[in-house]
Amino acid sequence: MATLEETNAAIVEGDESLRRRDFINIAAVSFAGVGAVAVALPLINQMNPPADVLALASTEVDISKIAPGQAIKTSWRKQPVFVRNLTPQEVQQANAVPLSELRDPQTLAERTKPGKENWLITLGVCTHLGCVPLGVGEGENRGDYGGYFCPCHGSHYDTAARIRKGPAPLNLMVPEYAFSSDTVVSIG
């Protein structure tokens, strides 16, 4: 190895800057450092979701019983999901809002599937600090914009579940989903 020659050369020249012992010292401490990292990685990684949690990452929802104007709460990855059948008025209301007025500009069409604009599927997790907004149940406060209202810190979402007022930074998240048939949605 080159290092040995260097070390010998250093001794010949009487150069104190790289001694054999310095090399051993650096090599030993580096080796211990690599070992410490190798131990730290699994210790950190073990806190990630385990295999059984990852295996629950998709769910199927039957939407045949949801009448226009109604919504249901279901669960995906242990988080609430809102599935809402929008009325034509609500769709119209959402489409009438100019994008410039929005904090997180998105059209209703971008938040739904083509030809299924009345089906608004979002996570029921407020983008502020994670509470479940009201508005799914009959008679619940739907906020100033007729969508959802988060009671924790007063975020108002409109009929397309876009943030309109309050501290939340983003629209309610639309999860990845697909229509397996006209009445069944597969989320995740």
Partner 1 sequence: MSFAWAKPYEPKTELGRWIDDRLPLPRMVFNAVGGGYPVPRNLNYGWNFGVLSGIFLTIQIVTGIVLAMWYFASADGAFNSIEHIMRDVNAGWMMRYAHANGASFFFIVVYIHIFRGLYYGSYKAPREMVWMLGLVIYLLMMATAFMGYVLPWGQMSYWGAQVITGFFSAFPVVGEPIRVWLLGGFAPDQAALTRFFSLHYLLPFVIAGVVILHIWSLHIPGSSNPTGVEVKTEKDTLPFHPFYTAKDGWFAGAFLTIYAAVVFFGPNALGHPDNYIPANPLATPAHIVPEWYFWPFYAILRAFTVDFILPAKLWGVLAMFASILLLFFLPWLDKSPVRSGSYRPMFRIFFIILLVDVAILGWCGGSPATPFFVALSQIAAAYYFAHFLIILPLVSKFETTLPLPNSISESVLHGERAEAAPVGQSAPAN
Active site residues: 153
Amino acid letter, residue 150: C
The residue whose two tokens read 């009929």 is 159
Place of tokens 């990292």: 37
Piece of the chain touching partner 1 by CB under 8 A; list 7-15, 43-51, 81-89, 158-166? 43-51
**Segment interacting with partner 1 (CB under 8 A) among 40-48, 63-71, 130-138, 145-153:** 40-48
Is 4 a binder of partner 1 (CB under 8 A)? no
Q: Which of these, 114, 105, 115, lies nearest to 158 by C-alpha position?
A: 105
How far is it between the farthest Cα atoms of the chain?
A: 91
DSSP 3-state assignment of 168?
coil
Examine residue 14 and tell whether it contacts partner 1 (CB under 8 A). Answer: no
Sheet (strand 79-85) strand order: 71-76, 79-85, 119-123
- In the complex, what is the shortest distance from the CB of residue 30 to partner 1, in angstroms, rounded to a whole number? 13
Find the shortest distance in angstroms from Cβ 54 to partner 1: 9
Residue 28 touching partner 1 (CB under 8 A): yes
Residue 67 engages partner 1 in binding (rule: CB under 8 A): no
Nearer Cβ to partner 1, position 5 or 52? 52
Q: Tokens standing for 79?
A: 């988080």
48 binds partner 1 (CB under 8 A): yes
* Amino acid symbol at 91: V
Tokens of 88: 């034509």
Closest contact distance (angstroms) between CB of 47 and partner 1 is 7
Q: Return residues touching partner 1 (CB under 8 A).
A: 28, 31-32, 35, 42-43, 45-48, 50-53
